[in-house]
Amino acid sequence: MDESRDLLAAQLKAGDRTAAEELVEMYYQQIYRYMRRLGHGRQTSEDLTQESFLQAWCRINQLRNGWMLGAWLYGIATNISRLYLRRHKDDEKTGLKSDDVPDSNIGSDNVSRDEQLELLKRTLEKLPMKLKETVVLHYMQQLAISDAAEAAGVREGTFKRRLNRALKALRGQVIR
Amino acid sequence: MEERIEDLLAKLTEATSEAVRPGLAEDIKRQIPPRLALHKSGMSTINIMIDLRVSKFAAAAVIIIAMALMAHFFGNGDFSGNVFQDSRAIVKHFFGGDTKEANLWSAVSEFYGHLSNKGMNAVFYDGSIGQKEAVLMYWRLADGNYKVIFGDLNARTVNAEELISLQSQMLQKNRKK
């Protein structure tokens, strides 16, 4: 796995278009969902996903190793999202949209669970963006701590502290 | 308690795994530029200028080695065997000095610039100077094979599989460092 990623990274750095297409196939869904989970609308998420890849093509030379491929791309996507939010501070209220969470399985046994899920979603929406990013990167995009920290542009220790703060906030609101 | 939060986050992850528009990947692929990686084109002239400011001897060495490389790869040059050693010998013979790695780097950059100007899409790994088995530069030949120049300035023609293998070996070595 590592070797194939190293090879892909080498091919990307060598300007191989086929490798670039492979990278798109590997990550476009992940990056789109990352944008959605950060709270961007559908069209905006598509635009930001495209923008992330465009930035990636310009920064191929900054790619160090194959095993950092995901973290590198997520790092670019995180910066694109932050930049968008700074530019559109007043335009878009970000948050996981209510239609993201299905309500089809609300039965008597599931009511409490679904209420908790709804509450979790709302609490996550209200978290400061830096804390939200840590939860989304690690728990929802399932990046390892080291990769998630790299993607967030912070040291692992800082990332863990933010994650703990975020979990504490979520726990305090959702689990009583 | 933390496990329950993780459990709920996993549920939320599942709930927010919405379908992605199938055409999105194609839209992104269409935006891949024809020249994906930007290499050090244009740097060679700057390096020569820096060298001229630092030392006339260094600049002369750079020019001679670049000429030696071009003669070796494009002309009927008399250079045989190890071009790296040949280049050092030339500089020693004419100037009574020795070449430094920085001068070789500049010379190879100059050579790379020459290839780029000729429209040959060469790839240049600038960290491989002086490393015997590391790929320093390669470009595709008309017959589909690749001309590879190694860190010691020796050259070999290889096929695509051999090139990938050489690159893998190089990456593994770099990772161990």
How confident is residue B40, by pLDDT bands cut at 50, 70 and 90? very low
pLDDT at B54: 46
Q: Are residues A116 and A66 in the same domain?
A: no
Residues A29 and A112 in one domain: no
* Strands, sheet with B135-140, edge to edge from the N-terminal-most edge strand: B123-124, B135-140, B146-150, B155-158
Location of structure tokens 């992850």: B13
Could you tell me which residues of chain B have a Cβ less than 8 Å from any Cβ in chain A?
1-2, 4-6, 8-13, 15-18, 20-21, 24-25, 27-29, 31-38, 121, 123, 164, 167-168, 171-172, 175
Across residues A34-50, what is the average pLDDT? 94
A120 assigned to some structural domain: yes
Q: Is B34 within the bounds of a domain?
A: no
Q: Is the pLDDT of residue A117 over 80?
A: yes
A59 and A8 inside one domain? yes
Is A97 domain-assigned? no
Residue B177 is predicted with a pLDDT of 57
pLDDT at B85: 55
Q: How many domains, in total, are found in chain A?
A: 2
* Side-chain half-sphere exposure of B154, counting CA atoms within 13 A: 9
CA distance B158 to B2: 56
- Nearest CA to CA, how far is A161 from chain B (Å)? 15
Average pLDDT over residues A107-128: 78
The CATH number assigned to the domain holding A30 equals: 1.10.1740.10
Sign, Cα dihedral of A11, A17, A23, A26: negative
pLDDT of residue A48: 94
Whether A50 and A43 have beta carbons less than 8 Å apart is answered as no
Please give the DSSP secondary-structure letter assigned to residue A138.
Answer: I
With bands split at pLDDT 50, 70 and 90, how would you rate the model's confidence at B50? very low
Question: Please, where are the H alpha helices in A39-155?
Answer: 42-58, 69-87, 111-126, 129-135, 145-152
- Do A117 and A153 lie in one domain? The reply is yes
**List of chain B residues whose C-beta atoms are within 8 Å of the C-beta of residue A49:** 24, 28
Asked, for residue A96, whether it belongs to a domain, the answer is no
With 0.90 as the threshold, say if the pTM is over it: no
Domain count across chain B: 1
Distance of CA A168 to CAs A114, A131, A135, B39, B166, Å?
20, 11, 11, 47, 50
CB contact under 8 A, A24 and B28: yes
**Domain coverage including residue B79:** 43-176
B83 vs A115: which has the higher pLDDT: A115
| A102 is a domain residue | no
Give the mean pLDDT of B132-161.
81
**A residues 113-142 lying closer than 8 A (beta carbon) to B:** 113, 116-117, 120-121, 124, 135, 139-140, 142
Whether pLDDT at A85 is above 80: yes
CA distance A162 to chain B (A): 15
Average pLDDT value for residue range A57-77 = 85
Q: Which has more confidence, A84 or B106?
A: A84
Q: Which helix H or strand E contains A17, and what residues bound it?
A: helix A17-37
**CATH code for the domain of A116:** 1.10.10.10
pLDDT tier at B123, thresholds 50, 70, 90: confident
* A137 and A53 in a common domain: no
Residue with tokens 């030339």: B90
Token representation of residue A122: 């709302």
Which of A3, A100, A171 comes nearest B15 by C-beta?
A100
Are B44 and B112 in contact by the 8 Å Cβ rule? The answer is yes
Task: Test B121 with A15 for CB contact under 8 angstroms.
Answer: yes
Of the two residues B112 and B95, the one the predictor is more confident about is: B112
User: Across chain B, what does the average pLDDT equal?
Assistant: 68
Please check whether residue A100 lies inside any domain of the structure: no
Mutation for A interface: B1, B3, B4, B5, most A CBs within 10 A: B5
- Give yes or no for residue A123 having a pLDDT over 70: yes
Residue A155 has pLDDT above 80, yes or no: yes
User: pLDDT for B151-173, tens place per residue?
Assistant: 777 788 888 888 888 877 777 77
Q: What is the structure's pLDDT at B84?
A: 52
Residue A168 in contact with partner chain B when CB distance is under 8 A? no
Distance in angstroms (rounded) separating the CA atoms of residues B37 and A17: 10
Please say if the pLDDT value at position A140 is more than 60. Answer: yes
Q: For B16, which of A33, A135, A175 is closest by C-beta distance? A: A33
